[in-house]
Amino acid sequence: MKYSFFKSDRFIIKVILFIFISISIYINPFMITKTKAAEINNKEEVEKAINLIFENRNKALINGNADLIKAIFDTKTKYGTWAFEHEKKKMQYIHNWQEKQGIKFTNITHQIVIKRIREKTNNNYSVNLLCSTEYKYKYDNQTDKENSSRIGTYHVLNIENRGGEWIITKEWYKDPFADSLYLDNTKAYSSKEYILLQNEKDVSALGERRLKAMEYADQFCGAASEKKYGFKYNNKYRDYNPQGGDCANFASQILFEGGKFKKNGSWNYDRAGATRAWLNADGFKNYMINSGRASLIAHGSYDKVYKASYKLLPGDFVAYEKKGDITHISTVTGSDSRGYALVSCHNTDRNKVPWDLGWSDKNIKFWLVHVNY
């Protein structure tokens, strides 16, 4: 008898709950929809605000307007102040570099892909995003030709709405210009006159393997690639950025997938992992030269090698040396309207970017390497 009563009691409770939920939905059938709509509207507002902030930052970089950059950040906090000071130095470096190069940046535009938006507190959001930025420039004595480079970055930032104004309270991203924010290192412009006298390169006779290497680099340049490629790396390969860097891995992929170089015991990637020559920047450079698959064009500081850089062809590579150690590899993927070599790489993703942009520290040495296809 008790068991029967217990079952009846449970049944009555279920009926009451059903009636209560039904009445609630009848009274306000759009309650859930409105809640979701509010969340969507908030995220759309945040995304719109971020796009406006990045647009203003791009304008500031071109115009040299530090006040416009300052207005973006909460400079009352140490994190906001650090972010502002970094962007200010970056702006100054870009203007110094364009003076060294004899160019003017004419436009900087961006495409943002929001990965995640999380509300921390009311009007305060944490955002993960990808930003693909296109830098357009013209040479001072060649204003009829516009050149284009792309740089991709991955950001983690906190953004807050204060009285209707959105500001960044904290931001982190791996800045491609971080190694060049020592402004004194770009004060000598002895190279400018030489650069402005060079002509556009004729690459009509490039071999098929070099062309395929360029195509592969364009497609899998991550956040620096074009939108049609999805801003992705090749998922056949592991992304080694979290383990210290993916630059040599990408350079090896370009040579194998695009340039059709064959793997061997020293230079290899498989399910078990990758060899040092495939994955490590110093190992890659040493292997390519010592194996005869590549040969050295020039080595030294910028002033010593910039003239030799005009010998670089798409499919060659540049190795960057700091304190005696090769820390980065970029593959040559083109040249601009003055024949200046452009490179592509991973880590901070670059696509057809001038080979020394972001590497202006006087202590950096360059290895310009010709690959024997």
**One-letter amino acid for residue 162 of the chain:** R
Does 203 share its domain with 327? yes
pLDDT in tens, 103-136: 999 999 999 999 999 999 888 999 999 999 999 9
pLDDT of residue 182: 63
Phi-psi region of 235 (alpha: psi -120 to 50; beta: other; left: phi over 0): alpha
CATH of the domain at 289: 3.90.1720
Instruction: Encode pLDDT of 49-108 as tens digits.
Output: 999 999 999 999 999 999 999 999 999 999 999 999 999 999 999 999 999 999 999 999
What average pLDDT does the segment 270-279 reach? 96
**Structural domain contains residue 19:** no
pLDDT of res. 317: 98
Query: What is the pLDDT, as a whole number, of residue 40?
Result: 53
d(CA 348, CA 363): 20
343/207 same-domain check: yes
User: Is residue 143 located within the same domain as residue 228?
Assistant: no
Q: Which of 106, 140, 173 is the last residue of a domain?
A: 173
Other residues' Cβ atoms within 10 Å of the Cβ of residue 177: 19
Q: Is residue 244 over pLDDT 50?
A: yes
228 and 105 co-located in one domain: no
Where do we find the tokens 């997938």? Answer: 257
How would residue 187 be classed by pLDDT, with cut points 50, 70 and 90?
A: low
pLDDT of residue 21: 46
Percent above pLDDT 90 for the chain: 80
**Do both 153 and 209 map to the same domain?**
no
The CATH number of whichever domain residue 126 belongs to comes to 3.10.450.50
Instruction: For residue 341, give the 3-state DSSP assignment.
Output: strand
Whether residue 288 sits in one domain with residue 208: yes
- What range does the domain containing 145 cover? 48-173
Kindly state whether residue 29 falls inside one of the protein's structural domains.
Answer: no
Residue 183 in any domain: the answer is no
Q: Are residues 308 and 232 in the same domain?
A: yes
Find residue 192's DSSP bridge partners.
none
pLDDT tens digits, one per residue of 312-343: 999 999 999 999 999 999 999 999 999 999 99
Task: Decide the pairing of beta strands 341-345 and 273-274.
Answer: unpaired
**In angstroms, what is the C-alpha Rg of the chain?**
26
DSSP readout, 213-231? HHHHHHHT-GGGS-GGGTT
129 and 217, same domain (yes or no): no
Q: Are residues 67 and 124 in the same domain?
A: yes
**Number of domains comprising the chain:** 2
| The pLDDT value given to residue 9 | 52
Query: Mean pLDDT over residues 150-168, rounded?
Result: 94
Confidence of residue 35 (pLDDT cuts 50, 70, 90): very low
Per-residue confidence (pLDDT) for residue 10, from 0 to 100: 53
* Predicted confidence (pLDDT) at residue 15 exceeds the cutoff of 80: no
Query: 313 and 350 share a domain?
Result: yes
Let me know whether 98 and 226 are in one domain.
no
Fill in the amino acid letter for 271: R
b/e per residue 97-116 (b: at least 16 CB within 10 A): bbebbbbebeebebbbeeee
Q: With cut-offs at 50, 70 and 90, classify the pLDDT of residue 266.
A: very high
Same domain, 215 and 346: yes
Q: How many CB atoms lie within 10 A of CB 277?
A: 22
Q: Is the pTM of this model over 0.75?
A: yes
Residue 55 tokens read as: 């647009």
> What's the confidence (pLDDT) of residue 78?
93
Question: 27-36, 82-91, 216-225: which has the highest mean pLDDT?
Answer: 216-225
- For residue 342, tell me if it sits in a domain: yes
